[in-house]
Amino acid sequence: MKTSNSLLLLLLSILILPKPSLQASPPPSPFLPNQRLIKAYTALQAWKHAITDDPTNFTADWYGPNVCNYSGVFCAPAPDDPDILTVAGVDLNNANISGTLPDDLGLLTDLALFHINSNRFCGTVPNSFRFLTLLFELDLSNNDFSGEFPSVILSLPSLKFLDVRFNKFHGDLPSSLFEKKLDALFINNNDFKFSLPENIGNSPVSVLVFANNNINGCLPSSLSNMNNTLEEIIITNSGLIGCLPPEIGSLSNLTVFDVSDNNLVGPLPETMAGMKKLEQLNIAHNQLSGEIPASVCLLPTLQNFTYSYNFFCSEPSMCLKLQASDDRKNCLPERPLQRSPEECKALYSYPVDCGVFGCTRRPPPPL
């Protein structure tokens, strides 16, 4: 009797338990973009149509409303509403794409990063970028952009990193650029023609690279105002003239100072002994003269000191003990590979007057 009851219970349990479905699982809900992603879709589709060549098919998957799945497009919760997904970054670096930047990119109002270096984009930056108020990093380097400095960049309130190097921008550089709260500024290898303004000292950047432009002016003494932030300054092959201002010695956080391949004259300021964190010092290929201060070669972190192709007439022995130094083509007695005596005599026949360049204020005449 007990066995019959057990079989009955087993049979009932089989009949009562739900049977597994043989049907396939229902398909996932279709992607439903929010209003911001719809605008992003409009912007990115306009950009795709402005692309004239995409040799690696980088943007081949730029179709459909789910822009967060596009190559090089990154989504994140919106800063003002974490429940809304939005396009926060675009990175097309090294894609070798050619084309232009359409006005519709101004619809990407939550964009924080815009990186398109090492492509073949041309034209300039559209004025619609003024709507990208959250843009933190803008990297346009190594493209074919041209025209004057894009003034719309000056209206970006959140910008901290700006890189426009290796393009074909030309003309003046607006002095208001140095009033922006940037952390890094790269404008090297363009065709800018300008003089470094006095308000350059107002810039809080840690890295400043101006190499291979047409500055044709002096290093302002106001650089000393950047002593709390500036760590690297590179202004090579840019037509700098005049003397090195002694005020640069107050740049106590500087690790790299490179003003090689210019037309600088006069002595190396003894105040540079205050650059206690300096690691790389390159003043080669100028017309600097006089004695190299021993205190410069004794800087505690200095590793590389290049002062070749100048007219220095004396160097302390400790300079030759540095990890790397280069003193060729100077006027240093008993050192190999120096300039001829005739070259040295010709330069020292005309003492340098740093005041004639208009870089420093001359003292008033005696009464």
User: pLDDT by residue (tens digit) across 76-113?
Assistant: 999 999 999 999 999 999 999 999 999 999 999 999 99
**In a domain? residue 245:** yes
Q: Is a pLDDT exceeding 90 seen at residue 15? A: no
| 111 & 164 share domain | yes
CB atoms within 10 A of CB 200: 19
**In a domain? residue 235:** yes
pLDDT digits over 349-367, tens only?
999 999 888 776 544 444 4
pLDDT score of 358: 78
Got the DSSP string for 237-256?
SS--EEEPPGGGGG-TT--E
CATH of the domain at 94: 3.80.10.10
- The amino acid present at 186, given as its one-letter code, is F
| 86 & 159 share domain | yes
Strands 191-192 and 232-234: unpaired
pLDDT score of 31: 61
pLDDT score of 216: 83
**In a domain? residue 6:** no
**In a domain? residue 325:** no
| 210 & 167 share domain | no
State how far the alpha carbon of 119 is from the alpha carbons of 54, 64, 91, 168, 337, in Å.
Answer: 10, 24, 11, 13, 43
Q: What is the mean pLDDT of the chain?
A: 91
pLDDT digits over 210-231, tens only?
999 999 899 999 999 999 999 9
| 269 & 162 share domain | no
**In a domain? residue 105:** yes
The predicted model gives 154-175 an average pLDDT of: 97
**In a domain? residue 77:** yes
Where in the sequence is the domain holding 302, given as residue range(s)? 183-314+344-362
| 271 & 249 share domain | yes
Q: Is a pLDDT exceeding 80 seen at residue 197? A: yes
The predicted model gives 161-187 an average pLDDT of: 97
pLDDT digits over 44-72, tens only?
999 999 999 999 999 999 999 999 999 99
Least confident of 11-15, 112-116, 221-225, 329-333: 11-15
| 135 & 223 share domain | no
Last residue of a domain, one of 151, 171, 191: 171
- Residue 165's nearest CA partner among 157, 173, 156, 154 is 173
| 287 & 187 share domain | yes
Q: Is a pLDDT exceeding 80 seen at residue 340? A: yes
User: Which pLDDT band holds residue 26 (cuts at 50, 70, 90)?
Assistant: very low
Least confident of 2-16, 231-245, 246-260: 2-16
Strands 311-314 and 287-291: parallel
| 72 & 149 share domain | yes
pLDDT score of 33: 80
Least confident of 18-32, 37-51, 136-150, 173-187: 18-32
pLDDT digits over 294-321, tens only?
999 999 999 999 999 999 999 999 999 9
Buried b (16+ CB within 10 A) or exposed e, 62-84: beeebbbebebbebeebeeeeee
pLDDT digits over 265-293, tens only?
999 999 999 999 999 999 999 999 999 99
Q: Is a pLDDT exceeding 70 seen at residue 164? A: yes
Q: Are 173 and 187 in contact (CB under 8 A)?
A: yes
| 138 & 205 share domain | no
**In a domain? residue 14:** no
Last residue of a domain, one of 171, 193, 211: 171
The predicted model gives 176-197 an average pLDDT of: 97
Any residues with CB less than 8 A from the CB of 166 and at least 6 apart, and which? Answer: 141, 142, 143, 188, 189, 190
Last residue of a domain, one of 171, 195, 220: 171
| 188 & 140 share domain | no
Q: Is a pLDDT exceeding 90 seen at residue 28? A: no
User: Which pLDDT band holds residue 328 (cuts at 50, 70, 90)?
Assistant: very high
Q: Which residue has the higher pLDDT, 202 or 25?
A: 202
**In a domain? residue 160:** yes
Q: Is a pLDDT exceeding 80 seen at residue 192? A: yes
| 351 & 230 share domain | yes
Number of separate domains in the chain: 2
The percent of residues in the chain predicted with pLDDT above 90, rounded, is 86
| 235 & 358 share domain | yes
Q: Which residue has the higher pLDDT, 362 or 264?
A: 264
Q: Is a pLDDT exceeding 60 seen at residue 4? A: no
